[in-house]
A = this chain, B = another copy of it.
Amino acid sequence: MALVPMVEYADAPPEVKAVYDEIMRARGSDWVNNFWKVLAHDPANLRRMWDNVKQVMAPGALDPLVKEMIYVAVSATNNCEYCTYSHTASARKKGMTDAMLGELLAVVGLANETNRLANGYRIDVDAAFRPDA
């Protein structure tokens, strides 16, 4: 159960309603998920985080599905239950199949393993990998 009460649309002040409306319009949906309803107890932070998500997740040099999969990779590494479920759901909507999810998590697992081998053995970075090589 969240540490602060969720703000429902009917009870929301105008600046919160405005963000909720943007979220629903952007997603073509008629509901707002719990993440935003919890953040809404602090309207300035709600606005800030939504603007961040909009800007960072917009199509650009990377396509939105790749961005969602990177989001899942980070969330699985950090063990964020909420973000793993919500961004997997988003990635599936954008076309991620079970096979893609399987490969994504296999890379996440392997990277977590080799990260610890490299850190644990204290391996020196090869000069050829440095950006000025």
Chain A residues engaging chain B, CB cutoff 8 angstroms: 1-4, 31, 33-35, 38-39, 41-42, 44-45, 48-49, 52-53, 55-57, 60-62, 66-67, 69-89, 97-126, 128-132
> How many subunits of this chain does the assembly comprise?
6
Query: Could you show 18 A-B contacts with beta carbons less than 8 Å apart?
Result: A1-B122, A3-B85, A3-B88, A31-B128, A35-B118, A41-B102, A42-B102, A42-B106, A57-B110, A62-B104, A74-B74, A74-B77, A78-B119, A81-B118, A82-B123, A85-B122, A86-B126, A86-B129
Chain B residue nearest in CB terms to A90: B129
Q: Which residues of chain B are within 8 angstroms of A74 by Cβ–Cβ distance?
A: 73-74, 77, 107-108, 111-112, 115
Q: Let me know if A83 and B118 touch, CB within 8 A.
A: yes
- CB within 8 Å for A2 and B124 given contacts A75-B115, A99-B60, A116-B112: yes
